[in-house]
Amino acid sequence: MNPFALLLTSLAISVVGAFASLLAARHEATAIRLAGLAGGLAGAAGLAAGLAALTGPVAVLDVVGPMPFARFVLRLDPLSGLMVAVISGLALVASLYSLAYVREYAGRGVGPMGFFMNLFIASMILVVVADNAFWFLVFFEMMSLASYFLVIFDQDDEAVSAGFLYFLVAHAGSVAIMAAFYLMADAAGSFDFAAFRAHPLQGTAASVAFLLGLVGFGAKAGMIPLHIWLPRAHPAAPSHASALMSGVMIKIGVFGIVKVAIDLLGGGVVWWGLLVLALGAISSVLGVVYALAEHDIKKLLAYHSVENVGIILLGVGTGMIGLASGQPLVAVLGLMAGLYHLVNHAVFKGLLFLGAGSVIYRMHTKDMEEMGGLAKTMPWTSLSFLVGALAISAIPPLNGFVSEWYTYQALFAAAFDGTFLVRFSTPIAATLLALTGALAVMCFVKAYGVIFSGAPRSHHAAEAREVPATMVAAMLLLAAACVALGLAAPLVAPVLGSVAAATLHLPAVTFADGAILLPGDAGRAVLSTPLIALLLLGLAALPMLLAAVFAVGRRIPRTTAAPWACGYLPDGHMTVSAGSFAQPIRMFFAPLYAIRRSADGAAADLGHGFDGFVCRARRSESLFDRSLVAPVEDAVARFGRRSQIIQGGDFRIYCLYIVAALVALLLVTLR
């Protein structure tokens, strides 16, 4: 089927599902089913459209718009097809999850929630396929507004405050993006991206447009130092919305950086790539450092989104460096690594947010200190979360390991050639990536151990039970995708490599040979994730095999003993907590946490400043009313009261009015 037909079908289903959910708001069970079914069907159609566009020819839909500069142009190329597939795939799973999860919000407006969720999905897809600056900005605003209403859905003080901060940062970013597009449109004479490509900006103007795009899209991506909204907004939204916001919405920021820097401006300046590389390295390290100090499970995951956006930007920055310095292998390898991690992060971060949502669904708290022992009572949730934790920690042979391995290879390849600054910066970036990986492992050992291991630390934890079947099915689908994207890397890497090459307008590079992964050059390194999986299975089976061999013919008695804790009976206070586990890291990185406190204080000052502005505006409004509006209103009221005398209620007086009016008209006519 034509990819555009599938894409338009997906969009139509999302819009119909959004309004159907809103119309059925009084019948909440029906509204939940309509919103979930529409999201699932739209996701399936969009996934098919995106996958078809990965290897197919570029398709363009060009329709006359309401104004000459606003031609409605949609473009499906390999890069936008990849984004459509990622958005739609995660939307499909989140919609399945919502069929049971949203029942938790019964009585609080599930109809509007379904409306904004489906509108959110449709607007994200329209953003990545729009090929006209006017419509891109329109759909970008739709996406921001739909997600804003999801963030403030709970209507408590924290959600409203987080929503305001998100609204402010998102629209400040939109202004920067708008300015970048206006610069390009002024040079091209059109708002169509095709004209931007045909007449790209040059020199200083190009660098200004790139910086504006980097700021605007970097704010949407949650890149440090523009990340302040993300750790507050993502935890405030419902968990299936958090999965979409963290899994795919922030990737539209990365997509926008690639779009502006490479697709529209040509990416021909080395320092652009170095700047993206530096911001990626800083975001990756600080994101995981800040995550380690969190006790709120959703806030911890939100900071890990900052970390993983940084890892994606490491690959994108390396690709930009390779493109600008005339190294096609480095360019394709770097961008492919970034795109691979973009896909992987959507899968394992979506899984982790859904897993966190399942825990919160039963625990009614986000505080990890009140959990514990949930692996026994919620085994499927525990298994799914474990797979996601291993994937985000880059443990082989899961998907997170593969994309980070390619990122290392891209950084190493860039370090062999190029200018002194490139050879100096890429090894530092690789070192910071290694530090990020080590801290991520520590963070998820803490998270999984505190939530699922040990003894229950609260009444809710002791009485928890597994979540409904549709929620379990959604998590298991994403867990299977984490495994598949790792084991099937020899099949996935060449496809993503072709997407990277097509985006860069460079020849394709070989990334796999059979079951072997290649970083573009077999002489540099090789890797086989299927072989790693077999070796790991063999390593796990070896102790059991040896035990079975030694146990043949002899009976080994099994003994049990009471728990022992240095002479004391163990109790709940001896359990390792999230705070005690992360205490050494908090001490070691104390200056970095001081920076975060300063940033949080600046955000609070911004909110207080806005409140003060509102108060002054209200005082000014009352002054305006007293000095201008009120006197006019009083004069009109006095005139009205005096005019009431002509309405005496006597029928003869009214007849006299009619005769007087006729006489007046006759006099006017005679003149």
**pLDDT (tens digit, 9 = 90+) per residue, 79-98?**
999 999 999 999 999 999 99
Q: Percentage of the chain surpassing pLDDT 70? A: 87
Cβ atoms of 503 and 78 within 8 Å: the answer is yes
Number of C-beta neighbours around residue 151 at 10 A:
27
pLDDT at 97: 94
pLDDT at 153: 86
The closest of 211, 242, 212 to 305, measured between CA atoms, is 242
Q: Report the sign of the C-alpha dihedral through residues 112, 115, 118, 119, in that order.
A: negative
248-291 pLDDT, tens digit per residue, is 999 999 999 999 999 999 887 899 999 999 999 999 998 888 88
pLDDT at 357: 92
Q: Is 471 or 555 the better-scoring residue by pLDDT?
A: 471
Q: Tokens in use for 270? A: 């080395």
Q: What CA–CA distance (Å, rounded) separates 246 from 345?
A: 9
Q: Identify the band that residue 660 occupies on the pLDDT scale cut at 50, 70 and 90.
A: confident
Q: What CA–CA distance (Å, rounded) separates 284 from 302?
A: 12
Cβ atoms of 509 and 332 within 8 Å: the answer is yes
pLDDT at 497: 92
- Phi, psi dihedrals of residue 132, rounded to the nearest 5°: -140, 135
Is residue 534 over pLDDT 90? no
Give the DSSP letter of residue 553: T
Cβ atoms of 338 and 264 within 8 Å: the answer is no
Give the DSSP letter of residue 248: I
pLDDT (average), residues 188-202: 89
Is residue 621 over pLDDT 90? no
SS3 523: coil
With residues binned 3-state (H G I as helix, E B as strand, rest as coil), the percentages for the chain, rounded to 5, are 75, 5, 20
Cβ atoms of 246 and 302 within 8 Å: the answer is yes
Number of C-beta neighbours around residue 663 at 10 A:
10
Q: Tokens in use for 14? A: 């999302």
Q: Report the sign of the C-alpha dihedral through residues 622, 625, 631, 634, in that order.
A: negative
pLDDT at 648: 66
Residue with the two structure tokens 């997509």: 255
Q: What CA–CA distance (Å, rounded) separates 342 from 336?
A: 10
pLDDT at 553: 58
Cβ atoms of 319 and 339 within 8 Å: the answer is no
pLDDT at 527: 85
- For residue 461, give Cα distances in angstroms to 359, 453, 497: 9, 11, 45
pLDDT at 290: 85
The closest of 598, 612, 629 to 290, measured between CA atoms, is 598
Most trustworthy range by pLDDT among 68-77, 104-113, 348-357, 569-578: 348-357
Give the DSSP letter of residue 568: B
Is residue 390 over pLDDT 90? yes
pLDDT (average), residues 424-431: 92
Number of C-beta neighbours around residue 289 at 10 A:
23
Most trustworthy range by pLDDT among 154-163, 340-349, 514-523, 633-642: 340-349
- What are the b/e assignments for 360-394, b being 16+ CB within 10 Å? bbbbebbebbbbbbbbebbebbbbbbbbbbbbbbb
Q: Tokens in use for 266? A: 């040509």
Q: What CA–CA distance (Å, rounded) separates 577 from 407?
A: 34
First-to-last CA distance in the chain?
Answer: 79
Give the DSSP letter of residue 565: B
Q: What is the mean pLDDT of the chain?
A: 85
pLDDT at 44: 94
Is residue 611 over pLDDT 60? no
Q: Tokens in use for 622? A: 């009352």
Q: What CA–CA distance (Å, rounded) separates 510 from 490?
A: 10
pLDDT at 568: 65
SS3 63: strand
Which of 177-191, 420-434, 557-571, 614-628 is predicted with the least confidence, judged by mean pLDDT? 614-628
Is residue 71 over pLDDT 70? yes
Residue 468 neighbours by CB under 8 Å, 6+ apart: 100
Residue 11 neighbours by CB under 8 Å, 6+ apart: 42, 122, 125, 126
Q: What CA–CA distance (Å, rounded) separates 653 from 297?
A: 80
Q: What CA–CA distance (Å, rounded) separates 173 from 228?
A: 13
The closest of 143, 84, 72, 154 to 113, measured between CA atoms, is 154
